[in-house]
Amino acid sequence: MTEVQAFAYVAIGADGKRVRGQVSGANEQAAFERLRRQGLSPLKLRPVRANQQASGDRALKDRESAEILLSLADLLGAGADMRSALNVLLSRAQGSRVANACRRLLQAISAGEALDAAFARTLAPRHGFVAALIAAGEAAGDLP
């Protein structure tokens, strides 16, 4: 089984603007191809060490994690699908950490990563229970 790893990237979007973020892939080539499929032209792509993913300004505070989860619950309860709900949160995000988390979730889900794995990687390790709740919701058919 191939282990998925995170890669930090700098790319040029279709609009010509420079974009920074993270993408997951089995290797650098897979991450590069994933960015190309998303319409981005990668300029820089490097592996992210595990301790970098959940540290520094990328780590969500408890209040920010709660904000994401409560807002998602409201939007999903109102009938939005997960991608639409995350796009709404991204457009309304007050802080860069919340926006980055929503962006990472959207990228992972759009790339075909399982919801529980995407949430585990984005909100974990401090909020590991979230992945279990997401997996249970998916198994029960309660997540759109």
Same domain, yes or no: 14 and 37: yes
What does the block give as tokens for 125? Answer: 């390790």
Same domain, yes or no: 36 and 83: no
Same domain, yes or no: 64 and 92: yes
Q: Which of the two residues, 127 and 31, has the higher pLDDT score? A: 31
- For the chain, the domain total comes to 2
Q: pLDDT tens across 37-86, in order?
A: 888 899 999 887 754 544 444 678 888 888 999 999 999 999 999 999 99
Same domain, yes or no: 66 and 128: yes
Q: pLDDT tens across 92-118, in order?
A: 987 778 888 899 899 888 888 888 888
Domain that holds residue 95: 56-140
C-alpha 40: how far from its chain's center? 17
Same domain, yes or no: 63 and 106: yes
Q: With 0.75 as the threshold, say if the pTM is over it.
A: no
pLDDT of residue 54: 45
Nearest alpha-carbon partner for 58 in 87, 96, 109: 96
pLDDT of residue 58: 60
